[in-house]
Amino acid sequence: MSINVYVPADSSAISLGADRIAAAITLEAQSRGIEINLIRNGSRGLYWLEPLVEVVTDAGRIAYGPVQVSDVSALFEADFLHGGDHQLALGSIEELDFFKKQQRLTFARIGTTDPISLDDYLANDGYRGLGNALKQSQADIVKAVTDSGLRGRGGAAFPTGIKWNTVLNTPSEQKYIICNADEGDSGTFSDRMVMEGDPFVLIEGMTIAGIAVGANQGYIYLRVEYPHAHIALNAAIEKAYAAGYLGDDIQGTGKAFHLEVRLGAGAYVCGEETSLMESLEGKRGLVRFKPPLPAISGLFGQPTVVNNVISLASVPIILDKGGDYYRDFGMGRSRGTLPLQLAGNIKHPGLFEFAFGLTLRELLYDFGGGSATGRPIKAVQVGGPLGAYLPESQFDTPLDYEAFAANWTVLGHGGVVVFDDTADMAALARYNMEFCAIESCGKCTPCRIGSTRGIEVMDEIINGLEISKNIPLLRDLCNTLLNGSLCALGGMTPYPVLSALNHFPEDFGVTDTTDAA
């Protein structure tokens, strides 16, 4: 019988050479006359060990990594196909503390299966949630999601069940489910990992959402920067249609749900839900005023659920195991788990799914292992380009929506970007203003003009010009952006800028006497 060998097709693993490793292993096996079955799985998320090769042996699944093409021949010599010893041998991934200590609910399958095999999905608890949902009333499905305490994982943390309930109770012939897969925050890649590593879980989550609220059409708005996710999603959607998990008669119930992937075109602001809908309608991605809420008047003016990838991908396990099961993880009003993405200057970058409540310090040092450069960690930006920088004094904050909000910081989509002590926080603050200027949709003045004025003020500060005048000006400008912008792009750019200034005034040339504000 041929031996199963797993080499990830995750795009980050590919970026480190996984395709070449897969080709080299296939070639080497052929030349040695050994029959193997090479499976391209998702990533386990331990990226410092990628490219990670796993072999199914009598003693379980044994991992080797990080593997380079030049290691392949030696791995065969060491008989890795039977779990042979080699300096890259890691044993079972599931026994490593990095993995074992996580609570993988949404990511339960990722890295263990062939992402576009429906059989693999079904053999590993796939479509059990939909099976239960098809036996329940719409109100009961929504109630399970409400009871789970799931809140929007895109960043705004709005209770998913309440959003669904509004759409359910808004009468209309046509309703829509939109998956916001425009994952544009730097330091985030959990959506990408789901779409590449377990696309059926997203399809199942969207199908459940459609049945729950009475929507028969779904769109996945995917950023164009994710070509591998695009391929995986389309392949999985095709299989779901063929097997009757999508279409006009889902599993013989007479219920319909159709799904299509639409590509964005490099506009960060289209991750904002109203801008996203404008884009889906074929327009410039200008932010809309709210109200009306998308749940009442959304895509093409119809009631629309807009949820992030992780929110929707968390729905199947909630319908499978019940709202209570999911709610029992977490702390306070942050229920369930959050897939944290550890990136930037960190020794062990990757995806770590935990129940809410772990502290940032535990994540950074116990799991992250400190900075990649070995230098002290100076600051950590949590929540993407609109998230605040946290200094060391805030590292004991638990990863919880409310605890973060109390610090004037945000958890956002769970991205954590680490900077060592060589980081120049004034340069980063300038970049945050520049990013806002580049990505502003232009609809509201504070964001459109304020961001450009922000770059100019930061340039003066960086050049040491009139610091005592320019710092209050920067604060005043940030205040205008905070209070006067239409959406989070302008409204939250002050989070990174002001947190950099408040925690690292010395980088802005501020002495005790210059920043009386």
Partner 1 sequence: MTESNSIQETVQGVIATLKDKPGALLPILHGIQDAIGYIPADSVPAIAQGLHLSRAEVHGVISFYHYFRETPPGKQTIHICRAESCQAMGGKHLEQYAKDQLGIDYHETTTDGQFSLEPVYCLGNCACSPAMQIGSDIYGRVSTQSFDAIINEKKEQA
What is the rounded distance in angstroms from the CA atom of residue 25 to the CA atom of residue 71? Answer: 10
**278-317 footprint of partner 1 as x/- string (CB under 8 A):** -xxxxxxx--------------x-----------------
Q: Which of 12, 394, 451, 480 binds partner 1 (CB under 8 A)?
A: 12
String of DSSP letters for 130-178: HHHHHTS-HHHHHHHHHHHT-B-TTTT--BHHHHHHHHHTS--S--EEE
Best CA proximity match to 11, nearest among 184, 180, 187, 189:
189
Per rule CB under 8 A, is residue 481 in the interface with partner 1?
Answer: no
Per rule CB under 8 A, is residue 351 in the interface with partner 1?
Answer: yes
Smallest gap from residue 511 Cβ to partner 1 (A): 26
Best CA proximity match to 463, nearest among 511, 420, 430, 493:
430
What is the rounded distance in angstroms from the CA atom of residue 360 to the CA atom of residue 433? Answer: 26
The answer to whether residues 125 and 108 touch, using CB atoms and an 8 Å cutoff, is yes
Of residues 143 through 182, those in contact with partner 1 by CB under 8 A are none
Smallest gap from residue 458 Cβ to partner 1 (A): 15
Cβ-based nearer residue to partner 1, 65 or 83: 65
Tokens of 88: 């890259």
Smallest gap from residue 219 Cβ to partner 1 (A): 9
Of residues 323 through 342, those in contact with partner 1 by CB under 8 A are 341-342
β-strand 304-308 against 176-181: which pairing, if any?
A: parallel
The set of residues, in sequence order, having a beta carbon less than 8 Å from that of 219 and lying 6+ positions away, is: 176, 177, 178, 179, 259, 260, 261, 262, 280, 299
Per rule CB under 8 A, is residue 420 in the interface with partner 1?
Answer: yes
In the chain, count of helices (H) and strands (E)? 22, 16
Cβ-based nearer residue to partner 1, 25 or 417: 417
What is the rounded distance in angstroms from the CA atom of residue 396 to the CA atom of residue 399? Answer: 9
Smallest gap from residue 34 Cβ to partner 1 (A): 29
Cβ-based nearer residue to partner 1, 227 or 244: 227
Cβ-based nearer residue to partner 1, 114 or 424: 424
Q: Which of 268, 329, 401, 508 binds partner 1 (CB under 8 A)?
A: 268
Q: Could you tell me which stretch among 23-31, 147-155, 347-355, 484-492 binds partner 1 (CB under 8 A)? A: 347-355
Smallest gap from residue 325 Cβ to partner 1 (A): 29
Cβ-based nearer residue to partner 1, 10 or 515: 10
Q: What DSSP designation does 288 have?
A: P
Cβ-based nearer residue to partner 1, 18 or 55: 18
Per rule CB under 8 A, is residue 184 in the interface with partner 1?
Answer: yes
Smallest gap from residue 384 Cβ to partner 1 (A): 8
Per rule CB under 8 A, is residue 431 in the interface with partner 1?
Answer: yes
Q: Which of 439, 447, 489, 503 binds partner 1 (CB under 8 A)?
A: 439
What is the rounded distance in angstroms from the CA atom of residue 296 to the CA atom of residue 339? Answer: 30
Cβ-based nearer residue to partner 1, 101 or 284: 284
Per rule CB under 8 A, is residue 458 in the interface with partner 1?
Answer: no
Smallest gap from residue 422 Cβ to partner 1 (A): 9
Give burial (CB, 10 Å; 0-12/13-18/19+) of 45. Answer: buried
Cβ-based nearer residue to partner 1, 188 or 480: 188
Cβ-based nearer residue to partner 1, 149 or 264: 264
- The helix (H) or strand (E) run that includes residue 180 is strand 176-181
The set of residues, in sequence order, having a beta carbon less than 8 Å from that of 472 and lying 6+ positions away, is: 515, 517
What is the rounded distance in angstroms from the CA atom of residue 326 to the CA atom of residue 322? Answer: 7
Q: Which of 210, 350, 383, 414 binds partner 1 (CB under 8 A)?
A: 350
Smallest gap from residue 1 Cβ to partner 1 (A): 35
Longest dimension (CA), the chain: 76
The answer to whether residues 340 and 399 touch, using CB atoms and an 8 Å cutoff, is yes
Buried b (16+ CB within 10 A) or exposed e, 313-329: bbbbbbbbbebeebeeb
Q: Which of 211, 355, 417, 467 binds partner 1 (CB under 8 A)?
A: 417
Per rule CB under 8 A, is residue 61 in the interface with partner 1?
Answer: no
Per rule CB under 8 A, is residue 189 in the interface with partner 1?
Answer: yes
Per rule CB under 8 A, is residue 400 in the interface with partner 1?
Answer: no
The answer to whether residues 429 and 386 touch, using CB atoms and an 8 Å cutoff, is no
The answer to whether residues 287 and 274 touch, using CB atoms and an 8 Å cutoff, is yes
What is the rounded distance in angstroms from the CA atom of residue 409 to the CA atom of residue 499? Answer: 9
Q: Enumerate binding residues for partner 1 (CB under 8 A).
A: 11-12, 14-16, 47, 50, 183-189, 191-192, 224-228, 262-268, 279-285, 300, 341-345, 349-351, 372, 381, 385, 415, 417-420, 423, 428, 431, 435, 438-439, 441
